[in-house]
Amino acid sequence: MSERKRLRPTKFALQRDAFLLRLSKECMEHPEILPIWCDVIVLFRTHERNGEAFDTTIDLLLQRIQTYSPALTAMLERSLADWVIGVLLFCTTGDESYLASLDRVERLSPDNPWTINADGSLSGLGHPKSDRHWQELRNYDRALQDAQPVGRPKKQPTEPPTPRAQRESELALEARVVQMKDDRCGWKEIAKEVCPDLNLSDPKQNRKARDRVARLAFNGRRHARKRLEHQKTSAV
């Protein structure tokens, strides 16, 4: 068989799998089907899989399933025999990988007119007859698509600050240095806050930090005097 792309575990896919499992359980426990199931399992476990008795019992089992489990039959259609073998292998080995035949469903729901082909594409004998059928088609298509990243999309790199923003940032640093000077903070303490990228243990960077603190303090006081003079002039 050709490989079919597995559905993502969307709400639709999980509900469909749960529905198939419920149909499977009801099928195997049906009073008209259970005795035949037991006969097939016994023959299967005793390795009498190629004899006439096994073939006859399998044919009878398929007939009973088609008669008493029409919903499961409609969902599986041509994959019904594969499903039976998969369940038999699971029952005898306990290996759940044999239940992969559940991925071979050929209907989105028992009454949906569209058929799922071996490659996962859809073909139909007619148009869906209800809104539910259309919704099943949309949900199936969505479950086939790759998952989209959740959350907000990542922001693009921010643009460099404008000259005005840089100037406002510099003025804020000047005011902060003046305030720390007035609070009698040492220059190293001020440098650690306004020059965190400089290593004060390095002589060259130490000198650079000292000069920057001094420049910020000088400009800060000069701008403060200008603002005071402007306020006095405006008041007059």
Range from 21-30, 149-158, 162-171 carrying the lowest mean pLDDT: 149-158
Give me the pLDDT at residue 76, please. Answer: 87
Given this model, what pLDDT does residue 70 score? 92
Helix (H, G, I), strand (E, B) or coil at 51: coil
Q: Which of helix, strand or coil describes residue 113?
A: coil
Other C-beta atoms lying within 10 Å of the C-beta of residue 135 = 13
Question: In DSSP terms, which residues pair with 124 in a beta bridge?
Answer: 114
Domain boundaries of the chain, sorted by first residue: 11-110, 163-235
Whether residue 7 contacts residue 62, with contact meaning beta carbons closer than 8 Å, is answered with no
H helix runs in 46-194, sequence order:
52-68, 70-76, 80-93, 131-144, 163-182, 187-194
Angle at the Cα of 11 (from 5 to 14), degrees rounded to 5?
A: 65
* pLDDT value of residue 212: 86
Is residue 110 a contact partner of residue 75, using CB atoms and an 8 Å limit? Answer: yes
* pLDDT for the residue 1: 43
Please tell me the distance from the alpha carbon of residue 174 to that of residue 221, in angstroms, as a whole number. 8
What length does the chain have? 236
Where does the pLDDT of residue 117 fall: very low under 50, low under 70, confident under 90, or very high at 90 and above? confident
| Chain mean pLDDT for the chain | 80
- Evaluate if residue 221 carries a pLDDT over 60: yes
Range 130-144 average pLDDT: 83
Dihedral through CA 185, CA 188, CA 192, CA 193, nearest 10? 30
Q: For tokens 């643009």, what's the residue?
A: 159
Quick: pLDDT tens for 98-109. Answer: 666 556 778 888
Q: What is the pLDDT of residues 36-87, one digit of tens each?
A: 988 888 888 776 666 788 888 889 999 999 999 999 998 888 888 888 888 8
Tell the residue number behind the tokens 């409609």, with chain if given: 74
pLDDT band at 147 (very low <50, low <70, confident <90, very high): low
- 201 or 126, which is more confident? 201
Q: What is the DSSP letter of 149?
A: P
114: Cβ–Cβ under 8 A, 6 or more apart, which residues?
A: 107, 108, 122, 123, 124, 128, 133, 137
* 2: pLDDT strictly greater than 60: no
